[in-house]
Amino acid sequence: MTISITMLREEWLMRAVVQLEPIFQKSGYQIPPVKVSIGFPSTGAKGRHLGQCWGSKASEDGINQIFIAPNQADPVEVLDTLTHELVHAVDDCKSNHGEGFKKIATDVGLVGPMRSAGAGEHLKQDLIRIAQALGYFPHARLLISRGTSRAGIKRPGAKCAKCGYEVVMLKKYLDLGPPICPKDMDGMEETGEWDA
């Protein structure tokens, strides 16, 4: 199978930032330097965050870092999330979803509860136009199962070399050391060694 890649997704995202600049400028805001990638927010794959912006102080180069969750692939939805995260970048992540964020967000056309603010109808039309101008978004949605049970996942264990007895090692028990071989326990009851 031959795959022709003309543009990387990060390039598409950075071109999207350039396309979104006039929307911010029209409302009196300047988008600071940003880097945008597809990647899991700090809450991981199981979290519900669609994107995340890290402020300039969190990066050694002083540039805001934006991550769009890899389970998004619709170009307009990606632009909607990117716009939300760019509002954080303009605010340099100083006010979370508070008043500073809200002012910028509503000025550029985001609506709804600020934690999940998305494009209002007018901004949505702009995002559709931008998505059409950018063309194909070179990313396939990463299928993430949110309801996966832990059954079937083998946890790290410790196994006795003498008898093969095995226990699951949980992080909270690591400081206790390896398990005692059940064969060695027989004599401990009488001596009281294991009560220590």
The residues of the chain scoring below 50 in pLDDT are: 1, 3, 148-152, 191-192, 194-196
Residue 151 confidence (pLDDT): 46
The number of beta carbons lying within 10 Å of the beta carbon of residue 17 is 19
pLDDT at residue 185 in the model: 61
Domains of the chain: 9-134 (3.30.2010.10), 157-190 (no CATH)
Q: Tell me: the pLDDT tens digits for 65-97?
A: 999 999 989 999 999 999 999 999 999 999 999
Amino acid letter, residue 5: I
Q: Give the long-range contacts of residues 28-32, CB within 8 A, separation 24 or more.
A: 28/107, 29/90, 29/104, 29/107, 29/108, 30/90, 31/86, 31/89, 31/90, 32/56, 32/63, 32/64, 32/89, 32/90, 32/92
pTM for this one?
0.71
pLDDT of residue 6: 72
Residues 142-162: pLDDT tens digits? 887 655 444 445 566 667 777
- β pairing state of 34-38 and 64-68: parallel
